[in-house]
Amino acid sequence: MATSTMDVLHFQHTPFYCEENVYLLCKKLCSDGIAKADGSDLFVVFISNEKKQIPLWNQKASKRADGVILWDYHVICIQIKQGNIPPLVWDLDSTLPFPSPLPLYVSETIRPSFQLFSDYNRLFRVVHAPLFLRSFASDRRHMKDSGGKWIEEPPSHEPIVAEDGTLHNLNEYINISVADAITDVTISSVKDVIFTQKNGVVIKANQLVEFICQLSLE
């Protein structure tokens, strides 16, 4: 079944603020009726590793023909679908179709068959969007230099504050260690965790498709 694409300009995007871009993306997908109103079919995925250096392909910010770039971290949204429709990846920084079927995105952006040095292995923190939208906060302190000047210009909207009043917890999401990664993505307890824990679960690149497909069966 073909996937219909959307105009990426329909969504707010500030370069280098992918976590806030995805936060607003999830909100708009819900409000526009593209996702469920409560966001229960959406998952926010933080991609990083201990070294804060992850290669991703087909990225708009790249200056290379193959679109590869080395991010310190990146954030995307994955929408699970029912029936035989594959999950969809919403990546505002990608040159691939928007959204892209998960298998296409994995093969063209993550490229798991590409042999990487261990320092570049990607880890994925998968967070259920309803929990993320309630719990995430960023005062953008990570985008200021030691003198308090902006490294990159911030978004025009106000900083995101969590429902409980927390002002900044971005590090809880982007600090990802291989020691945090689960080993078996099929066990029911993992699925229990992702629907109850605000920081979700951490998985390895070769587990991503299987894990998301498990969630699609819920």
The pLDDT of residue 147 is above 90: yes
Average pLDDT over residues 62-83: 95
What is the pTM for the complete model shown? 0.95
Average pLDDT over residues 91-97: 97
Residues 6 or more apart whose CB falls under 8 angstroms from that of 102 comprise: 78, 86, 87, 88, 89, 208, 209, 212
Average pLDDT over residues 136-158: 97
Q: What is the pLDDT of residues 122-136, one digit of tens each?
A: 999 999 999 999 999
**Backbone phi and psi for residue 17, each to the nearest 5 degrees, phi listed first:** -125, 55
Catalytic amino acids? 18, 74, 91
Task: Burial-class residue 186 by CB neighbours within 10 Å (0-12, 13-18, 19+).
Answer: exposed
Residue 140, by phi and psi: left (phi above 0), alpha (psi -120 to 50) or beta? left
Token pair recorded at residue 170: 């971005």
**Mean of all residue pLDDT scores within the chain:** 94
Q: What is the pLDDT of residue 112?
A: 85
The pLDDT of residue 2 is above 90: no
Q: What is the pLDDT of residue 20?
A: 98
Q: What is the pLDDT of residue 217?
A: 63
pLDDT bucket at 1, cuts 50 / 70 / 90: very low
Percentage of residues in the chain having pLDDT higher than 90: 83
Q: What is the pLDDT of residues 166-202, one digit of tens each?
A: 999 999 999 999 999 998 888 788 888 999 999 999 9
Fold held by 8-216: C8orf32 fold (3.10.620)
HSE-up of residue 142 (Cα within 13 Å, Cβ side) = 18
The pLDDT of residue 71 is above 70: yes
Domain extents in the chain: 8-216
Q: What is the pLDDT of residue 141?
A: 97
Average pLDDT over residues 117-124: 93
**Does residue 24 contact residue 151 with C-beta atoms inside 8 Å?**
no
Average pLDDT over residues 150-175: 97
Q: What is the pLDDT of residues 12-60, one digit of tens each?
A: 999 999 999 999 999 999 999 999 999 999 999 999 999 999 999 999 9
